[in-house]
Structure 1
Amino acid sequence: MSETSTMVPLSEKLQGNVARSVNPYGCRQAVLNQIAYVQAKGHYAGAKKALIIGGSSSYGLASRITTAFGQGADTISVSYERPPRDEKMLGTAGWYNNVFFREAAEKAGLIAKNFNGDAFTQDIKDQVIDYIKTTFGGQIDLLVYSVAAPKRINPDNPDEVWRSVIKSVGESVTGENIDLEKNELFEQTVEPASEAEVTATKHVMGGEDWEIWVNELKKAGVLAEGFKTILYSYIGPKSTYAFYHEGTLGAAKDAAEASSHKIQKVINDINGEALISVSRAVTTKASVVIPIFPLYCIALYKIEEKTGTHETPIMHKDRLFRDMVYGGRRAVDESGRLRPDAWEQRNDIQDQVADLMTKITPENFNSDLTGYAEFRREFLQLNGFEVPGADETEVDLAALKRLEP
């Protein structure tokens, strides 16, 4: 017997800088809009079989979309998302992104497999490897590692849970942040992390699990000749160093770079490549809860509006793969990292951003002086609201539950 239809009204709900609601069909339209962006750019040579760890949203989803619809690749995504349950819990945006990406990819004749589970666990790794061997052609030629997680269980000690924190290191940092729920600017102090918190954040957000994935895949014999793997980092401007680049997240990114060198040694014999790409600042569910970071973003977005250099995740990652990873137009720094963030880091842009940040006040931050409107709109779009082309005001809960992940 089919479940009785229950129509659920859609409305955006924020708690601080955390979304508590989702528009499922807005998520579908957002996926279709990103696909259309990539298709308009045209096909380019690249991967044929790709695995994206953390492929349900933001940079991971954008990587999957450009890989599939730009390169024509079959894809696997591993993410940890919640399906619809009841009127109060319609599921997570990432769950719908996975569903509607798969539908679009299969319509285009591509394989799109979604694994919903904890990417840190051995069980998920085993499931993915088995699927590659039995159903996915036997080998992959691209692994994208794009994970932002709050915790990870120690694989050698199940009783120990590492929890990541977003804190400064050494001393407290005070600055202004934005409350998206209240549309308010407020002063915030970030307390320094303990040594144990820094270590835990490196375990969760560093490159340890990336290494494990590559080692397990290599051991299983499922990495193709010329295999590439890439992890996303962020450096940002000096104005954000204290709470990012020189904070706990920065320590984790440094650890990830050390992991890339270890991985490179593992895949040298298959002419593989382990890459670190320094991404630009974008609106994500993770970035909006980084202390003080949103203030920088609203200044940056305004200046980029004038210079024509603003990029959303799909624009940024499509350019990364199209031009740098596979296009032969690599911009690298002295450490060998890919630097698609060079547009953001241009001296003229950063000088203007720094000047604008000094002029932002609680009274004027939500005005044409800044890019706050764009920043808030992009955040709402992460959960399917204010997406161009999506106009649903209610959804059928029973229909949502029938969607295949």
Structure 2
Amino acid sequence: MAARVVSPRGRGFLLFEAHPDGCARQVSELWEQVPVLDTAAWERRPVALILGNSSGYGMAATIAGLARYGIQGVAVSMEKAPTERRTASAGWYRTRAMARCAERTGTAMSWLNADCFTDETKDRVCDLLAERYGPVDYLVYSVAAPRRRDPDTGDTHSSVIKPIGAEYATKTLEFDDDGATAVRTVGVPSATDEEIASTVKVMGGEDWQRWVRALADRELLANGVRTVALTYIGSELTAPIYRSGTIGRAKSHLETTARQLDDWLESYCGGGAATSVNGAAVTQSSSAIPGIGLYISLLRGALGAAVHSPLHQLVRLWDHLAGVAGAPVDRDDRIRLDDWELAESVQHGLADRWDRVETTNLSELAAPEWFAGEVRRLYGFDVAGIDYQEHTDPELPWPDRQ
């Protein structure tokens, strides 16, 4: 593919291509924002396995772990390579940029483009760990995918975003092809029992547990290993479509799995497992859920720059896991990094904004332009310092070290 101008073409929240230079610049900016510890104090670089490293909270976990704690190990994501007609996916370029940042700090990291759900990927990762790094000190599970093939049965399950029990109508944020914003009301039909079960299969804790067992079978869990799965609870305003819906049922399964793994790991190697409940953020997943985009836009309108970024939250998580500084833990042993979002005063103000918001006062109560810009940034656009009229080469290879 020849160098060319890459533009943010698409429909609504979905863009067809990603900008290589914008994605790389984003990674560099995030890397520079991490408060760095004194590397001379490191007795050794901890070994980490990051599952789902290329976007959102998984990318924040990878950058924070690399820049602040000097982790080494394996990062896995599944991204689309460039073709003659299209650029690679944004995660492809972000992973390449993370690899370059890691190399500059002398970090040994292997980057796999593979399906986290398959046994073949688990075998490949275990082989890499055994050959290059040794047992895992930290396992961060941040896998978000629309479907999963069950390795035992061969059946493919698809996740759905639906309420349970009854159809649900919610306000939502819409963008037309020209970027104009509007508040609409959409109805979402209730999920069937089969859809609920399939969503749990994809987004619940089953695959996380299989990863822990695969590592244990190969004696690749270090003494005192800590594993955490990233999750979200959210506001009562979005509960019918999220926490009380199919996604919430899967998240409940994830939390049950965390308790089971925590008990097992404590007896096996003095380790532990937990879920990390993160705050709201603009991601490719969240922007597709009815009502969530409007909620996040209202949250930004209420808090402005006081919204905690994924990177800020994941620095807190790493500090908690490493014992440098504690984070809140609730009575269900969930790490709560969403304390800023779910504060009573914040939620009270959001409820008022939610009740009053409509198209005519959207820009007054929310931050739709900010939200739209954040969506474009997911694809490497709207990044300061990038000349989007310049030609760029989309055909960049995956990081060499695998």
Task: Name the SS of the counterpart of 2:186 in structure 1.
Answer: strand
Return the alpha-carbon distance in structure 1 between the equivalents of residues 300 and 36 of structure 2: 24
Cα distance, 1:41 vs structure 2: 7.3
* Alignment partner, residue 332 of structure 1: 329
Cα distance, 1:404 vs structure 2: 3.7
Return the alpha-carbon distance in structure 2 between the equivalents of residues 17 and 403 of structure 1: 26
Cα distance, 1:326 vs structure 2: 3.0
Cα distance, 1:155 vs structure 2: 1.3
Q: Are 2:10 and 1:14 aligned?
A: yes
Aligned counterparts, 1:6-405, within 5 A: 6-39=2-35, 48-86=46-84, 88-136=85-133, 138-158=134-154, 160-182=155-177, 183-268=181-266, 269-305=268-304, 309-323=306-320, 326-365=323-362, 367-397=363-393, 400-402=395-397, 404=399
Moved more, 244-253 or 329-338: 329-338
Moved more, 175-184 or 73-82: 175-184
Q: 1:170 to 1:119 in 2, by over 3 A?
A: same
Cα distance, 1:389 vs structure 2: 3.0
Q: Deviations over 1:236-288 (max 9, x none)?
A: 11111100000000000000011112212331121111011111010000000
Cα distance, 1:359 vs structure 2: 2.0
C-alpha contact 1:184 1:362 (8 A) present in aligned 2: yes
Return the alpha-carbon distance in structure 1 between the equivalents of residues 320 and 38 of structure 2: 13
Return the alpha-carbon distance in structure 2 between the equivalents of residues 142 and 395 of structure 1: 40
Task: Name the SS of the counterpart of 2:169 in structure 1.
Answer: strand
Return the alpha-carbon distance in structure 2 between the equivalents of residues 280 and 41 of structure 1: 24
Task: Name the SS of the counterpart of 2:359 in structure 1.
Answer: coil
Cα distance, 1:185 vs structure 2: 2.5
Give the superposed CA RMSD. 1.9
Aligned residue-pair number: 394
Q: Which consecutive unaligned segments of at least 5 residues does structure 2 have?
A: none
Task: Name the SS of the counterpart of 2:297 in structure 1.
Answer: helix
TM-score of the aligned structures, taking structure 2 as reference length: 0.93
Return the alpha-carbon distance in structure 1 between the equivalents of residues 34 and 352 of structure 2: 34
Task: Name the SS of the counterpart of 1:129 in structure 2.
Answer: helix
Q: Deviations over 1:53-105 (max 9, x none)?
A: 1011110010011111000111311111011112x310100011111100110
Return the alpha-carbon distance in structure 1 between the equivalents of residues 385 and 392 of structure 2: 19
Cα distance, 1:184 vs structure 2: 3.0
Cα distance, 1:42 vs structure 2: 6.7
Return the alpha-carbon distance in structure 2 between the equivalents of residues 376 and 31 of structure 1: 19
Cα distance, 1:39 vs structure 2: 4.1
C-alpha contact 2:126 2:218 (8 A) present in aligned 1: yes
C-alpha contact 1:260 1:275 (8 A) present in aligned 2: yes
Moved more, 318-327 or 14-23: 318-327
Moved more, 318-327 or 257-266: 318-327
Give the AA of the match of 2:9. K
Give the AA of the match of 1:274. A
C-alpha contact 2:70 2:107 (8 A) present in aligned 1: yes
C-alpha contact 1:47 1:141 (8 A) present in aligned 2: no
Q: 1:402 to 1:67 in 2, by over 3 A?
A: closer
C-alpha contact 2:204 2:251 (8 A) present in aligned 1: yes
Moved more, 74-83 or 163-172: 74-83
Task: Name the SS of the counterpart of 1:102 in structure 2.
Answer: helix
Task: Name the SS of the counterpart of 1:298 in structure 2.
Answer: helix
Q: 1:90 to 1:246 in 2, by over 3 A?
A: same
Percent of residue pairs bearing the same amino acid type: 31
Return the alpha-carbon distance in structure 2 between the equivalents of residues 347 and 356 of structure 1: 14
C-alpha contact 2:5 2:388 (8 A) present in aligned 1: no
TM-score of the aligned structures, taking structure 1 as reference length: 0.93
Task: Name the SS of the counterpart of 2:4 in structure 1.
Answer: strand
C-alpha contact 2:225 2:271 (8 A) present in aligned 1: yes
Return the alpha-carbon distance in structure 1 between the equivalents of residues 37 and 360 of structure 2: 41
Task: Name the SS of the counterpart of 1:336 in structure 2.
Answer: coil
